[in-house]
Amino acid sequence: MFRNQYDNDISTWSPQGRLHQIEYALEAVKQGSASVGLRSDTHVVLLGLKRSSGELASHQQKLFRIDNHVGIAIAGLVSDARVLSNFMRTECMKSKMMYDRPMPGSRLVNLIGDKAQINTQNYGRRPYGVGLLVASYDEGTGPHLYECLPNANCLEYYAISIGAKSQSAKTYLEKFIKDFGAADVDTLIMHGLHALRETLQQDKELNINNCSIGIVGKGENWRTIEGEDLKKYLDQLETGAPTTETTEELPQGEAMDTE
Amino acid sequence: MDHFPTNWGNPRSEDVDNYNTYPVASHIAKVPHSVTQIAGYGHTSGHPTSHTQQPVVTGTSVLGIKYKGGVMMSADNLASYGSLARFRDVERLHQVADFTVIGASGDISDFQYVKHLLDSQMIKEYNADDGHTLATPNIYEYLWRVMYNRRSKMNPLWNTFVLGGVHKGEKFLGAIDLKGTPYQSPSIATGFGSHLAQPILRKEIEMRGGEENISEEDAVQILKKCMKVLFYRDARSMNKFQLAKITDEGVTISEPMSVETEWAFAEKIRGYGA
């Protein structure tokens, strides 16, 4: 019934110093379809691969608008994501109401972190089963991209992906990271689509139904590109290889810290 | 002791339930213990809950004007206790942030409370240490929420505040009163000043064809002129006041100063001179 002796509840340590239930929650994120996020000096783009349970069913929602300057992409339990996005929307409204100020992305992410941490330390609770990519454009500090996980880790990234087969997308992003800084929105989107394509199963292709794109940036409110509007980008994907290729092979990033 | 002879022989006013609060808050009838436990019943002394119904120690007018390059504000250093000039060294202009000054007329203790609230907010922002802080319009919005919230509890903070500042190259001058009414204008004067100083401020701006044509020196002279008029005619004012200057360089609040006054004419006023 249990995989081992120490995973009966979240607040029990294993002798190796691990909390198994929390690690299982991280697995839930890996089972969701992939989401990709990448950032230039002016914009953030989020992309989601939408699953459908069958020919007759609609596709799931991967991107959520939080405020004019914030949007999220999710991987994992959609119902948990809806709870979190509701919370984030409320916090953004509070900031607008109290201070006439758009909620700074970093503070929003910290609030999520505090909320998720409580679920990892109280007996009888469960961690959220969803990972979030948070894109925000803040007054003064510009574009930001964050990843929030069930273990309450919230980190900022230049580019990141979560969900099933997200490692392939990460590999792509690491290869082209040098191009992102100065890239315009369309280039950023194309890089995003290429990264997202890496996460597909063998016989699948990206189409207007199974992906969605969200953009926020300088002078631009959060907007999503879905359905027919995706055509112009997907057509480019058919014809060409990556838009630009860095001449030199980039050194591999250091191994991830285990904290 | 009741000093009004017509009241002698009548029941003392506090023995009468003037507002027909019986039985909820009657202090005449014995109220059952279970009733006194009801939330909002009032105090255990038997008196109804009461909120501030008048200010106690008060400051008079605050003035503010926009000029080329910034905002200037002025308030005297007096805190009156009724008509008594009780405290003569009170600073009614307070720097909130790098580019924001608040000025207060009305109840001084309520102002001290609001100063504490705003300072706490700024400390919170500083501690977050994430490159974000509250600018003048943000502080204005917050102050507005605080004032409106308190009036909605029927327990207002008895002040009219003036907030001056500079943000993103824009000058900001706004007022909020005890009912949470906000308004912004190129010139603002609270209390007695709204009758005596505001017309002068408006005329000076109009005469020059807008606030952009007022130099810093002009702004000082205009405010000094208004403070003089107020000192002549406002019996709760004092000839010792401060000026606050807010530009994109930052905030400077001056040492207390005074203006030359001429009282020889008073000799000829009946009931005033010798």
pLDDT in tens, chain A (259 residues): 567 889 988 989 999 999 999 999 999 999 999 999 999 999 999 999 999 988 899 999 999 999 999 999 999 999 999 999 999 999 999 999 999 999 999 999 999 999 999 999 999 899 999 999 999 999 999 999 999 999 999 999 999 999 999 999 999 999 999 999 999 999 999 999 999 999 999 889 999 999 999 999 999 999 999 999 999 999 998 765 555 554 444 444 444 444 4
Q: Measured between CB atoms, does A231 come within 8 Å of chain B?
A: no
Based on the fold, state whether residues B208 and B81 are members of the same structural domain.
Answer: yes
Of the listed ranges A226-240, B36-50, B143-157, the one predicted with least confidence: B36-50
Based on the fold, state whether residues B68 and B37 are members of the same structural domain.
Answer: no
Q: Where are the alpha helices (DSSP H) in A126-184?
A: 166-180
In a domain, B122, yes or no: yes
Cβ A148 vs Cβ A154: under 8 Å = yes
In a domain, B198, yes or no: yes
Q: Measured between CB atoms, does A141 come within 8 Å of chain B?
A: yes
Domain housing B27: 5-43
The whole-number pLDDT of residue B31 equals: 61
Instruction: Give the CA diameter of chain B.
Output: 70
Based on the fold, state whether residues B83 and B190 are members of the same structural domain.
Answer: yes
Based on the fold, state whether residues B22 and B79 are members of the same structural domain.
Answer: no
Mean model confidence pLDDT for chain B: 90
Based on the fold, state whether residues B77 and B185 are members of the same structural domain.
Answer: yes
Cβ B203 vs Cβ B65: under 8 Å = no
Based on the fold, state whether residues B109 and B245 are members of the same structural domain.
Answer: yes
Nearest Cβ partner for A104 among B130, B142, B145: B130
Integer Cα distance of A110 and B15 in angstroms? 58
Q: Measured between CB atoms, does B147 come within 8 Å of chain A?
A: no
Based on the fold, state whether residues B204 and B124 are members of the same structural domain.
Answer: yes
CA atoms within 13 A on the CB side of A248: 4
Q: Give the tokens for residue B118.
A: 């705003």
Based on the fold, state whether residues B39 and B62 are members of the same structural domain.
Answer: no
In a domain, B238, yes or no: yes
Work out how many domains chain B is built from and give that number.
2
Q: Give the tokens for residue B88.
A: 């003569």
Nearest Cβ partner for B130 among A97, A100, A107: A107
Amino acid at B137: P
Look at A100 and B141 and tell me if their CB atoms are within 8 Å: yes
Q: Measured between CB atoms, does A107 come within 8 Å of chain B?
A: yes
Look at B128 and A100 and tell me if their CB atoms are within 8 Å: no
Based on the fold, state whether residues B111 and B17 are members of the same structural domain.
Answer: no
Instruction: Give the CA diameter of chain A.
Output: 54
The whole-number pLDDT of residue B270 equals: 84
Q: Which residue of A has its CA nearest to B148?
A: A98
End-to-end CA distance of chain A: 29
Who has greater pLDDT, B253 or B41?
A: B253
Residue B109: pLDDT over 60: yes
In a domain, B260, yes or no: no
| For chain A, the helix, strand and coil percentages under 3-state DSSP, each to the nearest 5 | 35, 25, 40
Our measurement of the distance from residue B225's CA atom to the centroid of its chain's CA atoms, rounded to an integer in Å, reads 21
Based on the fold, state whether residues B76 and B29 are members of the same structural domain.
Answer: no
Helix orientation angle between B136-152 and B108-128, rounded to the nearest 10 degrees: 130
Q: Measured between CB atoms, does A94 come within 8 Å of chain B?
A: no
In a domain, B246, yes or no: yes
Integer Cα distance of A133 and B135 in angstroms? 29
Integer Cα distance of A116 and A113 in angstroms? 5
Nearest Cβ partner for B132 among A97, A98, A104: A104
Contacts of B131 in chain A (CB under 8 A): 140-141
Amino acid at B18: N
In a domain, B266, yes or no: no
In a domain, B213, yes or no: yes
SS3 B263: coil
Domain CATH for B199: 3.60.20.10
Integer Cα distance of B175 and B64 in angstroms? 9
Give the pLDDT confidence of B209-238 residue by residue, as tens digits: 999 999 999 999 999 999 999 999 999 999
Look at A101 and B134 and tell me if their CB atoms are within 8 Å: yes
**Which residues make Cβ contacts (< 8 Å) with residue B22, sequence separation at least 6?**
B28, B29
Integer Cα distance of B139 and A186 in angstroms? 38
**For this structure, is B190 an active site residue?**
no
Based on the fold, state whether residues B61 and B90 are members of the same structural domain.
Answer: yes
The whole-number pLDDT of residue A250 equals: 47
The whole-number pLDDT of residue A251 equals: 47
Cα-flanking dihedrals φ and ψ of residue A123, to 5°? -60, 135
**Which residues make Cβ contacts (< 8 Å) with residue A259, sequence separation at least 6?**
A153
| pLDDT category of residue B272 using cuts at 50, 70 and 90 | confident
In a domain, B272, yes or no: no
Based on the fold, state whether residues B127 and B215 are members of the same structural domain.
Answer: yes
The whole-number pLDDT of residue A247 equals: 45
User: Which among B6, B44, B52, B58 is annotated as catalytic?
Assistant: B52
Q: Where are the alpha helices (DSSP H) in chain B?
A: 33-36, 108-128, 136-152, 192-196, 198-207, 216-233
Number of helical (H) and strand (E) elements in chain B, helices listed first = 6, 13
